[in-house]
Amino acid sequence: MSEFDFEPVHGLPERLPEGEALRWQGAPRWGALAMRAFHVRLIAIYFGLLIAGRVVLLLTDGASLGHVVSSALWLATLAGLAIAILAILAWLYSRSTVYSITDRRVVIRFGIALPMAVNIPFKVIDSAGLRVYSDGCGDIPLVLGGKQRVNYLIMWPNVRPWRFFDAQPMLRAIPDVQEVAGILSEALRAATAADQRAGGGEAQEMSQQRGAGTDHGPASVQATAQ
């Protein structure tokens, strides 16, 4: 039994309200997360250069072949340990993270030791970006409007990199990201259109009753490619 067995719906902190449907649900691919969030490739390159530099330095100093090999193996062991730890962390984060898109919001459930869920209603999303990588995985950062904020440290790695003070929640390392971006874009447009119709109806009723001007309703929200 895990902490997620108590979820009323997988990946969601509570059951969806009546009339709200789940459009898509998925998780980050752990290999892509390891490379782009935990930077295991850069760590491997760093240690490779370190080992090569150490070998050249020892050979230049006239060290014995046995000493050179043992030194290189020691550094290689450290490299393997560091990469293994980062890869395991990436796998754990991938296993504990669930991204959900409904008719009205995006939900990000994350956390290894302390599971959390962040609800992001469509009405607070100004735009959604898209970045596609060569392996078909990609990221979808969400730009929040107004005074809406998320904590970068708490939500990492589910945030856009290097945006510390205006952190953008992000669906990260998603397989088939272009398909997911299409689902989100369609859901955003449908929700915005529904809100505009509802706002227009309310404004018209108020105008008839009070002679008031028309309320323009919420701003249009569209997904944009990066």
The string of pLDDT tens digits covering residues 45-103 is 999 999 999 999 998 888 888 888 999 999 999 999 999 999 999 999 999 999 999 99
Asked if residue 98 belongs to a domain, the reply is: no
Q: What is the pLDDT of residue 63?
A: 81
pLDDT in the model for residue 19: 86
Q: Which alpha helices (DSSP H) does the chain contain, by range?
A: 30-36, 40-60, 65-96, 152-155, 177-210
Flag residues of the chain having pLDDT under 70: 1-6, 199-226
Domain total for the chain?
Answer: 2
Structural domain for 17, as ranges: 1-28+103-226
Residues 169 and 114 reside in one and the same domain:
yes
Task: Please indicate, yes or no, whether residues 1 and 44 belong to a single structural domain of this protein.
Answer: no
Say whether both 143 and 79 belong to one domain. Answer: no
What pLDDT does residue 215 have? 31
Alpha carbons 220 and 195: distance in angstroms, whole number:
10
* Residue 4: per-residue pLDDT: 52
pLDDT (0 to 100) of residue 65? 87
**What tokens does 190 get?**
């449908």
Same domain, 118 and 220: yes
Instruction: Provide the terminal-to-terminal Cα distance of the chain, rounded to the nearest Å.
Output: 41
pLDDT computed for residue 149 by the predictor: 86
